[in-house]
Amino acid sequence: MTIGIIRIDHVNVVVPKSLEDEAKRFYGSVLGLKEIPKPVELQGRGGAWYELGALQLHLSAKADAANGQTRKGHVCYTVAHVAFAEEQLRAGGIEIIPDDQPMPGKPRFYVRDPGGNLIELAQAV
């Protein structure tokens, strides 16, 4: 079974909300990543997005991350046809996790690998 992965789009890292400013300094100043604007729909959630060549690093700050609850940390794969990928994964017995914060024109969904790691699958734009 192949679902048509094209590339890795972004990686999302999660830090405790109390360390958000320190993490932004680390990724932006220490590592020197270029910060890019987040979509308007997501700006109120805090964190930051950085450009790293053709990839992006998304920094999320979560109040419960200090308790090891970093279940939103993930890698995002771009697929040629998100509906086809979802169909193939369902047929393979993989549980589909719907997008809980959809963005117009950017269909996506999530799955977990056997180790519980979250994977986002997003439509190529």
Q: How far apart are CA 12 and CA 44, in angstroms?
A: 17
* Mean pLDDT along residues 2-8: 92
Q: Which helix (H) or strand (E) holds 13?
A: strand 5-16
User: What is the per-residue pLDDT for 65?
Assistant: 65
Which residues pair with residue 108 across a beta bridge? 122
| 14 burial type by CB count under 10 A (0-12 exposed, 13-18 middle, 19+ buried) | buried
Amino acid, single-letter form, for residue 64 = D
Binning pLDDT at 50, 70 and 90, where does residue 17 land?
A: confident
Say if residue 16's pLDDT is above 50: yes
What is the pTM (predicted TM-score) of this model? Answer: 0.73
Q: What is the pLDDT of residue 42?
A: 87
Q: Which residues contact 49 (CB under 8 A, 6 or more apart)?
A: 10, 35, 36, 37, 38, 56, 57, 58, 59
Domain boundaries, the chain: 5-123
Quickly name the fold that domain 5-123 has.
2,3-Dihydroxybiphenyl 1,2-Dioxygenase; domain 1 (3.10.180)
Give tens-digit pLDDT for 31-79.
Answer: 788 999 999 888 888 899 999 888 999 998 887 765 544 467 899 999 9
Q: Which two tokens stand for residue 56?
A: 């992006």
What pLDDT, in 10s, does the model give residues 72-121? 789 999 999 999 999 999 999 999 999 988 989 999 999 988 767 789 99
